[in-house]
Amino acid sequence: MNRIRFVGLDIHKERISIAAAECGRAGWWNISARLPTDPDTINKLCDRLGRSGKPLAFC
């Protein structure tokens, strides 16, 4: 069964704060980062988070 990865975004003019979490057998895991608002950087992040094939839910 695919678990959903939840990705929270706090968007500002120059930076985006990102937190991601997933609930599974091993429990919750979190990552957090502050990235520039560059579209290429955001695309790379989405690619990395979606590598496992799990659906992503953004808020």
Q: What is the pLDDT of residues 24-48, one digit of tens each?
A: 666 566 677 888 988 898 899 888 8
Average pLDDT, the chain: 82
Other CB atoms within 10 A of residue 24 CB: 11
Domain borders along the chain are 5-58
pLDDT level of residue 2 (50, 70, 90 thresholds): low
Query: What is the per-residue pLDDT for 45?
Result: 85
Q: In what helix (H) or strand (E) does residue 41 lie, and over which residues does it extend?
A: helix 39-49
How far, in Å, CA of 24 to CA of 9, rounded? Answer: 22
Query: φ and ψ at 10, to 5 degrees?
Result: -115, 105
Predicted model pTM: 0.71
Q: Contact, 42 vs 16, CB < 8 A?
A: yes
Q: In what helix (H) or strand (E) does residue 18 lie, and over which residues does it extend?
A: strand 15-22
